[in-house]
Amino acid sequence: MQTNRFETFIDAIIAILLTILVLKIPQPVEPTLSAIWELRVPYLAYLISFLILFNIWYSNHKLFQKVENIDNTVVWIYGIMTFIISLVPYFTIWVAKNVNSIPAETMFGLIFVSTNILYTSSVKSIYRSNPYNKELQETDKTLYYHNSPLIVIFLGFILTYTIFRPGIYISCLAAVIMWIYIGWRAENGN
């Protein structure tokens, strides 16, 4: 399958999810800095989710510049990942309203763990379906770094279940920053 229509489809889904996400952010009760400060948890949850979705979009954009064809395995992995990321707005709002809730934290973390695993799997599948693409084969050498944000999120799970309830929430922020940095380094050949 050629990638043009597929990439457009994924772009549209991410754009819709970002729109839904921003529409779910509550408005301050009054136009003061203290009213905005009271909404810091929903704003941070939005930032984390925005960065995850934007990073998926950006990474796809860069990847599909190097790829002309994909196979059915890639399509199905992306289909599953699309289902998972479609839940991002729902669980973002849930954790924003219940930042000290272990179930809300857990689901928020699991969404991002699943997304990371599925994205890494999709990239591996794309590399396998393009064995003669030298540019992809060179990029494949840095792919194992993409799993390191998972370690940060798992540390967040340990924190949440032991001493610090919003541990997953905070670790997701750290993990997405790591994921962006790793992608940037890979893109710049470092």
Task: Render pLDDT for 131-181 as a digit per residue (tens, 0 to 9).
Answer: 888 877 766 555 667 778 999 999 999 999 999 999 998 999 999 999 888
Residue 185 confidence class, pLDDT cut points 50, 70, 90: confident
Identify the CA nearest to 92 among candidates 54, 49, 51: 49
Give the confidence band of 188 by pLDDT, cuts at 50, 70, 90.
confident
Boundaries of domain holding 19: 3-187
**Number of separate domains in the chain:** 1
Terminal-to-terminal C-alpha distance of the chain: 32
- Which of the two residues, 142 and 3, has the higher pLDDT score? 3
Q: How many CA atoms does the CB half-sphere of 16 hold within 13 Å? A: 10
Tell me: pLDDT of 38 over 60: yes
C-alpha 179/C-alpha 87 separation (Å) is 20
Return the structure tokens found at 172.
């997701």
For the segment 37-53, the average pLDDT, to the nearest whole number, is 95
Predicted TM-score of the model (pTM)? 0.91
pLDDT at site 190:
58
The rounded mean pLDDT for the chain is 90
What pLDDT score was predicted for residue 42?
Answer: 94
Cβ pair 53, 21 in contact under 8 A = yes
> Is residue 111 predicted with pLDDT exceeding 90?
yes
Whether the Cβ atoms of residue 48 and residue 173 lie closer than 8 Å to each other: yes
